[in-house]
Structure 1
């Protein structure tokens, strides 16, 4: 099935599409997302389908700033239980540590972090917003939604963001640059190594007016109890280990068990307790990787075969037909049509 994201990330999607003259139900159906799932924030939807739908909506509606417009309709509340822990933190640095630790509650494919400034500016750090591209394709609209919301939340919690030096996007501008400047109110740069808000280091020490140590302790206790650390989820760890080595070495339970410092039989038993198996997880990783390479790139199918760790192109063809009911070439021709999302 691949990595998921909480349906709260699509809060405001339906009314925005309707206001732009579109048909939200048609878009949702095209990407296999039920209208009902949007009514419960804690429902999970595939992040690849979620992101591809945002890109498709922007294109179909002639609205290149769709992601930014959706960000304007959202707030920290879309993070659910994580939002309480973040807003009750004492400082920006503490909030970021909390978000970094528990972002998997929102989506296992997303992460936030504090990294050095990509331009080497003294006294500046990058607050990064990152999607694991080994798990799902890159989406300009999803990145703009994420960074736009990151900015809005920061401004709301701090009462402003005076230390913001630049906003970094990995992709080129899809809207007029003026739109980005108006939204963020600072220098916006494109073609960056990662999506980020670059701020003066002293911003990390700024305190929140909403800080409450008691509330934060309760929220963290809830998160720790109800959402065990993602590093402890065996299927997720196996999936990540396979994704990291796919196309580099032959995927096997022995090799993955070695990476996870456990015995192959122990790993198989752990997966069985979770209702799955190594073969099932491997098949899911191959399926998602093959879909990304076939529909999102122009790589020759022979190269895709190698990248998803099949020894023969015929094996890829048989697998793609089993997964999607189409040949690899038919799947590629469909392009962004939503098959297999």
Structure 2
């Protein structure tokens, strides 16, 4: 399983409501957390994001749903990457930092500059999506490609000379609708999703940027990349904490969210002198104390929120953690 920040669903709720639908119904149908419709920083299964877009487009009979949502999205949804993009000196710098750090937003997505597939001089291809040969979800690709197109338009503040749009499928909406959206010819059943742009576009200077902010943003993104190769413990703790009370915090689930194999997680944690079970137990202990000392939730509810099936199990854990019962811990905190 690969994941994407829930910011990728910005505009989904509003667009669906405008078309007479209920975004929460569609989210529930595909197993997508309702909170993902309104928050930016949840890590959600990218297949479920693709599924909710396809389901909504089908139920609402709006095959152009992805393009409609693209109208509502802006660079801010990319988080720290947006700061680097907005303060890049040229469009080439924008494309370079996006190609390098798009994984911060979505682990499986790529935006790469490639030679023009037709060999036209002065033209390059800006390929968007998953690896070549992997099926592209129609609405998700429409949304992503539409977002990239509109982001470039905003950055250069005019028409940027788009030569054509390449789609790796035959879209359910009329091609004329795509051509109105992109303002360029659209070709279907191509090898990959791509915007064919002038090769000279990269040298276009961008106005309003701050070189210092660009440098700081790039340093921050580099630190996040380095962190992926540094200690794994903080990432495991944060992921387990997100899962507690919603999804069983099993090592397979956590490893999938971090795009790693469970054995790799075990090996790296062993090298850092700990285990997945130890981290899970410590997170449960921390969260249990927080609930006991700051809320009046029933013990059964706290047990559920820390991923324990029974209140009796919670009591046994409390005796092991603190040498006392959960009730005694709560009373002591109150005193």
Q: Say yes or no: TM over 0.5.
A: yes
Q: Which structure has the bigger radius of gyration? A: 2
List structure 1 runs of 4+ shifted beyond 4 angstroms. Answer: 229-240, 264-268, 270-274
Instruction: Flag the 1:23–1:266 CA change in 2: closer, same or farther, 3 A.
Output: closer
| Segment of structure 1 superposing worse, 219-228 or 176-185 | 219-228
Deviation at 1:267, TM superposition (A): 5.5
* Secondary structure class of the residue paired with 1:144: helix
Deviation at 1:49, TM superposition (A): 0.2
User: 1:26 maps to what in 2?
Assistant: 25
Instruction: Flag the 1:66–1:87 CA change in 2: closer, same or farther, 3 A.
Output: same
1:119 aligns with 2:118: yes
Q: Name the structure, 1 or 2, with higher relative contact order (CA <8 Å, separation 6+).
A: 1
Deviation at 1:57, TM superposition (A): 0.7
CA contact (8 A) 1:82 1:223 kept: yes
Q: How does 1:95-106 map to 2 (within 5 A)?
A: 95-106=94-105
User: 1:187 maps to what in 2?
Assistant: 185
CA contact (8 A) 1:108 1:230 kept: no
Structure 1: segments with no counterpart, 5+ residues: 243-251, 258-263, 277-341
Q: Distance in 2 between matches of 1:91 and 1:85?
A: 11
* Secondary structure class of the residue paired with 1:50: helix
CA contact (8 A) 1:124 1:201 kept: yes
CA contact (8 A) 2:4 2:46 kept: yes
Instruction: Flag the 1:27–1:101 CA change in 2: closer, same or farther, 3 A.
Output: same
Deviation at 1:54, TM superposition (A): 0.5
User: 1:59 maps to what in 2?
Assistant: 58
Measured against aligned partners, the alpha-carbon deviations of 1:127-181 in whole angstroms (never above 9, x if no partner) come to: 11122479x8531000000000000000000012332111111111221111011
Pairing partner for 1:151 from 138, 145, 149: 149
Q: How does 1:1-341 map to 2 (within 5 A)?
A: 2-132=1-131, 138-228=136-226, 269=270, 275=276
Instruction: Flag the 1:35–1:271 CA change in 2: closer, same or farther, 3 A.
Output: farther
* Secondary structure class of the residue paired with 2:276: coil
Q: Distance in 1 between matches of 2:169 and 2:230?
A: 33
Normalising by structure 2, report the TM-score. 0.69
Structure 2: segments with no counterpart, 5+ residues: 233-254, 278-335
Deviation at 1:92, TM superposition (A): 1.3
Normalising by structure 1, report the TM-score. 0.68
Instruction: Flag the 1:66–1:124 CA change in 2: closer, same or farther, 3 A.
Output: same
Measured against aligned partners, the alpha-carbon deviations of 1:12-35 in whole angstroms (never above 9, x if no partner) come to: 111111111112111011112222
